[in-house]
Each structure stands twice: as C-alpha cells, then as structure tokens.
Amino acid sequence: MPAVVPSLVGTEDALLQQLADSMLKADCTSELKVHLARSLPLPCSVNRPRIDLIVFVVNLHSKLSLQSVEESLCHLDAAFFLGKVAFLATGAGRDSHCSIHRNTVVKLAHTYRSPLLFCDLEIEDFRAAMAQRLVRLLQICAGHVPGVSALNLLSLMRGSENPSLEDL
Amino acid sequence: MKVKSQREVAQSCLTPAAPWTAAHQAPPSMGFSSAKEMDETLAEFFRRTILKIPMTEMMTILKTWNFLSENQLQTVNFRQRKESIVQDLVLLCEENHASLNDAAHLDIIYTQFHRHQKIWDVFQMSKAPGDDIDLFDMEQFKSSFKKILQRALKNVTVSFRDAEENSVWIRIAWGTQYKKPNQYKPAYVVYYSQTPYAFTSSSRLKSNLPLLGQALTVASKHHQIVKMDLRSRYLDSLKAIVFKQYNQSFETHNCTTSLQEGSLGLDINMDSRIIHENKVEKERVQRVTQEIFGDYPQPRLEFAQYKLETKFKSDLNGGILAEREEPLRCLVKFSSPHLLEALKSLAPAGIADAPLSPLLTCIPNKGKNYFKIRDK
C-alpha cells in the first residue's frame, strides 16, 4: 500500500517538529511520511505525493499563527474540506498566555466544516495521545480502513460535538 | 608614658597593611571604645554581613577578605548551625580589632561575588575639548574622590578595592550633616580607569546621585558626566556592550542556549520520513538571523523599554484620534531572563518574521535599552 501522508501546517516549527516525531512513534500499520509547512500554498517545485490529511496547527498564544492559518485556508482546494482537514489548537492550558479566544478557533473550524482538536503540544503525554489519534484519522482519510471513508468520519465526528455549534 | 587619645588610636589602626586604602569619618558610635570591646552597632553590622554569605561560599569569601588568619579560621567549627558559626566569626573579628573599614571591605567582596543582586546603571564621562590627557594616578583619584564627598557631607564612609583591568570598586555609605552613614544601604561604583565609563548600583538614596557624579568627574579629571540609557543586573554584560567586546566569545553568567538550540537545531533532524516544505524560507531566516545577531553568545539584559510619544496615524480619515494634536504616550517593555537570546530565537521559532525590527536589534550596537521615540 502507498504511504499515508499528513501535512502539518503552522508557523511554529518546534511544535510541528515535535508533533511529527510523535506521530512517527505512534502505532501505524501503514508507512508514514509527514510533511511540515509553514503556510500554504506549498512551493510548487517539488514532485509531491497525494496528501491525505491536512492539520492546521494554531497556537493560541500567537496571533501570527492564527493569521497565517487563515491566509493559508484560502489557497486550499475545496475537495479537501470533505473530511481531510482538521484544526489543532495548542496552548489552551496556559490561559494567561492566550491572546486568541477559544471561540475564535471554534468559529473558524465551524466555518470550514472541519473538526477542531485541542491539545497542549508541549506536554509529551498529551502530544503522544494526540499523535495516535491523528494517525488513526489519517489512516481513515487515506482509505486504509475498509468501510469507513473520510466523509463518514466527518459526519460521525460532527454528531459528537457540542450541538449548539450551529448557533454560533 | 605618652597617652594616646581615642582618635589617635583609631587613626593608627587605619594604616593600610592590606592592598586597600580607606577613608572614613564616622561618628564615634561606629568606632570602638576600648581596645578589646567592639561597638555593638559595628558587631551587628559584621554579624549581618557575614550572615548574608551562603555557606557554600563562606570559605572562599573569608579567604579573599584575608582578614582572619588560617589558624583563626581553623578554630571555628563549621559544622554548627549557621547562627553559631557567624557568632564565632564575629568574636574572631573582635579579637583582631576589626574596624568599620574591614567590614566595608567584606561588604565589597560579598557584592563582587553577588553582583547580580544589584541593578547597574552606566555613566559616561567626557573631557572638555581643550583638556590635556594626564596620566591617571589611582591613589590621587581615590584621595580626591573621598575628599569631595567628605567636604559635601560630613558623614560618609568611602572604601575602595582594586580589581582587574585597572578598575576600582568603590563603596559609599551615605549619611547627612546630622545623621551617621547608613551602612545597610550603600551605593557601589565600579570605575574602569582606562576608560570614561563607570557603573553604579542604583541606590535608593537618589538625592546623592548628582554629588556622586560630580565626585567621579572631578576626581578622574573629566569635564562632564552623562547617564547612558543602559541598565541591567549583569555587570559583565554591560561591560561587554560598552567596551564593544560582545562580538568575540566571552563568558556570560548562566549562558542559556537551550531554547536556541531547540529551534536552530531543527534542520539537523535526520528522520527522512519528515519533509520540510519551506526549506528555502527556513534557510533564509537562519541566514538573516545570523547576519544580525552573529554566532557568539549575546550579552545578557533583562529588559528593553520603549517610550513612545508619537501622534496617532490612521488610514481612516476623520477618526477621532487622528485629529488629536497631542502625542499619545505609550510604554512598551520587553522582559526576559535573557532578552537578546530570546529575540534571536524569535524568527527561527516562527513567532516573528525575519528580519526583526531594527529597534530591537540595535540594542547592543547602540548600547541602549531605554528608548524614547518621538515623531521626526
């Protein structure tokens, strides 16, 4: 089977690097190759394999990271938003350092009809758990899990979210 | 048999046998009344000064002080509680007829070991255009300095200790015409005699600052003294900035490079399963950062402060604030345990764009960490 390829997009290299390392350590039956990018569009010179999942990483401590993600979203093909995009917000644990309100990312995820995950990536155990979760998500999005597609998963996940999301 | 007066006894004990000179004009209550008994306030000052010293440094500092002999130190049981050790040491000081000056020297040595406990300001002196360049005479400087202070304030304790690179540490305990000097709030000056720079510890008794400046200027045969907009706890870093020595490798206290290594070391990641899309951009950021900050460890500062007095500028016409004639006043302060290293790691970490604002990167070059920004 071809490799599964997630792309982690965000301004903070150190966090992306750590998350990528954690994902590579997680259990994955398929071969894994992780792309790290600061923003979209990606430089087009490279011969790139198909990307199965895009995770936009926003650091709630940095307005720059949110801004960069918002600008990147405009460059993404609409087809990705059928279950192949996820948002990951980090830094919620340190409330006093947050310059972005939680609701801002909630609204962003809602606007793009994609799941939002919270995880403090600086904490190793949380990061490892999140990495494992992302790998599972990734395998489904790549079509490596029979009977479940990315779109199925998306509707399943939406059901389990806070029902008042529609009211935002 | 000639009977010496108390004053003569006191004076004769001040003959320097040790490599320091001293001048003191303290009122009698800080001297000693009989040959054996030390004055209570002086004993208390010794006790408090020695008590400050952490046990791990006690022997080193006492040996540097060189006032108590090896034999005497060996009689002290250093396994007791600290209070008892200090008591024994104070008794030894009494045996040796320790004076206020000896206590002042111990205080200087303690401060030299703990220089980060003070916040240091930087002063720059200049000569008048026509002045001759005299050869500097340390003894003359010291004597002139103390005379100026003594003439102005009857009660002041001035002590000196020579240090490396032709520098001298000066300790000043301030009094007034009517009050004896407060030994617990001294000011310190570190003067590098081959340069026009002096570093002073910010004393709470700010009213004496002009007098101190005057004494320094006149004693060192300069014409004018100006306070630089530079302040930090780290005396060695201030030195490096002011003497332009920071762009060679030099010792900093607690050089913190872990954050830097974490972010700049990213490229060394060997895992081929991780692909960095923006390699070109990352390399550009690294290059720009290195051009600006260099490869060497940065001097250590804790903050940079920017005072803005600028008029409000807005793209929107007819905004309320845009019509204001008066400038808006605003203060921005950046704090960090190691400000320059933190600034250096901002762009590689993806938290800021490279290159950083020149207002931040000019700090060591301009020798300033206090800025006033006005409209041109």
> Per residue of chain B (376 residues), what is the pLDDT tens digit?
455 455 454 444 444 444 343 444 444 445 444 445 678 899 999 999 999 999 999 999 999 999 999 999 999 988 999 999 999 999 999 999 999 999 999 999 999 999 999 999 999 999 887 777 778 889 999 999 999 999 988 899 999 999 998 899 999 999 888 888 999 999 999 999 989 999 999 767 678 888 999 999 999 989 999 999 999 999 999 999 999 888 765 444 444 444 444 444 444 456 778 888 888 888 999 999 998 898 888 999 999 999 988 887 777 666 666 667 788 888 999 999 999 999 999 988 888 888 899 999 999 999 999 999 887 7
Q: Which residues of A touch B271 (CB under 8 A)?
A: 20-21, 24
Q: How many CA atoms lie within 13 A of B85 on its CB side?
A: 18
Q: Tell me the pLDDT band of A151, cut-offs 50, 70 and 90.
A: confident
What CA–CA distance (Å, rounded) separates A39 from A76? 11
Amino acid at B189: V
B317 neighbors A29 (Cβ within 8 angstroms)? no
DSSP string, B44-62: HHHHHHHHHS-HHHHHHHH
3-class DSSP assignment, residue A67? helix
A24 neighbors B364 (Cβ within 8 angstroms)? no
CB contact under 8 A, B262 and A14: yes
Amino acid at B259: L
3-class DSSP assignment, residue A124? helix
- Reply yes or no on whether the pLDDT at A147 is more than 80: yes
Q: Single out the residue of B61, B117, B50 nearest to residue B85, CA to CA.
A: B50
Q: Which residues of A touch B276 (CB under 8 A)?
A: 36-37
Q: Which residues of B touch A33 (CB under 8 A)?
A: 273-275
**B275 at A interface, C-beta within 8 A:** yes
Q: Which residues of A touch B277 (CB under 8 A)?
A: 7, 35-38, 42-43, 46
Cβ under 8 Å to A: B residues 328-357: 348-352
Q: What is the model's pTM?
A: 0.74
3-class DSSP assignment, residue B216? helix
Angle subtended at Cα B156 by Cα B202 and Cα B13, rounded to the nearest 5 degrees: 125
**pLDDT, tens digit, for every residue of A116-138?**
999 999 999 999 999 999 999 99
Q: Which of A13, A44, A56, A100 to mutate to test the interface with B (most CBs of B within 10 A)?
A: A13
**CA–CA distances in Å: residue B22 to residues B16, B145, B351:** 8, 12, 54
B308 neighbors B328 (Cβ within 8 angstroms)? yes
pLDDT at B21: 38
**pLDDT, tens digit, for every residue of B339-371?**
999 999 998 888 888 889 999 999 999 999 999
pLDDT at B32: 46
What CA–CA distance (Å, rounded) separates B281 from B84? 64
Residue of B nearest to A39 (CA): B278
With a pLDDT cut of 70, the percent of chain B lying above it is 81
The average pLDDT across A56-69 equals: 93
**pLDDT, tens digit, for every residue of B264-283?**
444 445 677 888 888 888 89
User: Which of B266, B280, B351 lies at the smallest CB-CB distance from A17?
Assistant: B266
pLDDT at B267: 46
Any idea which of A13-27, A88-102, B248-262 has the lowest mean pLDDT?
B248-262
| Token pair of B290 as six digits | 């290195």
What value of ipTM does the predicted structure carry? 0.78
- Reply yes or no on whether the pLDDT at A71 is more than 80: yes
pLDDT at B61: 94
Mean pLDDT across chain A:
87
Burial of B7 per CB tally in 10 Å (0-12, 13-18, 19+): exposed
Residue of A nearest to B273 (CA): A33
Residue of B nearest to A67 (CA): B351
Strands (E), chain A: 6-9, 34-37, 53-59, 85-90, 116-118
User: Tell me, which fold does domain A6-167 have in CATH?
Assistant: Rossmann fold (3.40.50)
What CA–CA distance (Å, rounded) separates B94 from B91? 5
DSSP string, B132-152: --PPP-HHHHHHHHHHHHHHH
